[in-house]
Structure 1
């Protein structure tokens, strides 16, 4: 069952600049999809539309049956908190709050009871190995630890869709692998993930990779039964073809 559907989506910032030209996309419940493309191809714009941070100029965008184009600005923030989780490149944690309170923040804004927050955090903290970090502050921990706090914040609301925007961009190779292994585990547990990345390695952890070029979905790859290494090679070849003059056939 598709939880995210985009039909003929376009986005123009003025009459001369059409960033998205005709995007058609379905994401099934439980999928793990990576989106790749050169800078300016439209990846971030597409993610912002799905995240309800921006609206399409034309076309249909629906998530779990909600027409996102019809959401009022006052409704969008609540919708994001209740249906979406976010993981960003630079973590976006608040230094004035403890790591525990950073994780609780979306549930606090939803006026959830403290008991419910604590019950949800306990298994997450164990899974992410952050129990010892909860009462510290973001400025007291490493980048890899901060990203795991951010993942906990994204998952504590049990979102229908986890959106990740260059989640490994600020991490070293060891913490990159740790985060991507974590994404694999939460996806295997049923979490739907949509990730924008420049990294072929990061994309190789997904089940499907979309390539965007000039505002269009230009090509896609399915992992299928391929090993991660085989899939990585296919993605790398796809990127090479994408950036070549002839493109993909």
Structure 2
């Protein structure tokens, strides 16, 4: 059974007499434990799609459900609680508070949910070990590297035990070494059953996923499944699909 389901989702923006159809007709499902990358050129609708799934925006029409809950029908106060309790976010620019140490940055969504200190500590310990940030918890974001900051951000996303982790260009601000390290951690988290939906421009980053959706002009242009393919073969198919997406090659085939 699908954890996330989108059916014929449209998003139209209006400004005076001008109408922009950012999403024309998007339908797909994400099962529990899946790891899906979304790719496409700038302006293809990736950010709009992520914002709708994150309940930061509403679809003009269509159905979007997470665990059978209709996200388009959530009232604003309910949407804020839903984001805090059901979703985890990893952003390109970390979005950590410099005035909080790393431990308190990770605790923040649980503080907002009014969890006890004991529960917060018990949740953090295994995540910190897995992400190798235990020794960094009492330091501040400004005192650690970009790769370490992104691991702290990932811990903040995971500590709420979310149904779905949304990652928006999570490796965009990292060098290749730190990007690979973070993506290895994403692999391990996904292996434990965590569902991940990630927007990325990087074919290398997308090659860590189990499935890639390519968006062009507000619709799903193409889809790739990794299956039993090696990462090298999968990466080559992703790169070929991006070439086709840009209109410089023939339509890719899976």
Gaps of 5+ in 2: none
Moved over 3 A (4+): none
Task: Select the residue among 58, 66, 71 that pairs with 1:68.
Answer: 71
How far does residue 16 in structure 1 lie from its aligned partner after superposition?
Answer: 2.0
Partners of 1:130 and 1:245 in 2: CA distance: 43
8 Å contact kept, 2:243–2:249? no
Q: Is 1:82 aligned to 2:67, yes or no? A: no
Matched residue of 1:20: which SS?
strand
Q: Which residue of 1 aligns with 2:45?
A: 42
Cα separation, 2, equivalents of 1:247 and 1:56: 31
Unaligned runs of 5+ in 1: none
Deviation of the 1:65 alpha carbon: 1.4
Q: CA deviation at 1:247?
A: 5.4
2:192 corresponds to: 189
TM-score scaled by length of structure 1: 0.98
The answer as to 2:251 corresponding to 1:248 is: yes
Does 2:106 correspond to 1:103?
A: yes
* Equivalent pairs, count: 249
Instruction: Give the TM-score normalised by structure 2.
Output: 0.96
**Could you tell me how far apart the structure 2 residues matched to 1:114 and 1:4 are?**
32
State the partner residue of 2:20: 17
Whether 1:56 aligns to 2:59 is yes
- Equivalent of residue 147 in structure 2, options 137, 144, 147: 144
The aligned residue for residue 8 of structure 2 is: 8
Deviations 1:85-128 (A, max 9, x none): 00000000001111000000000000011100000000011101
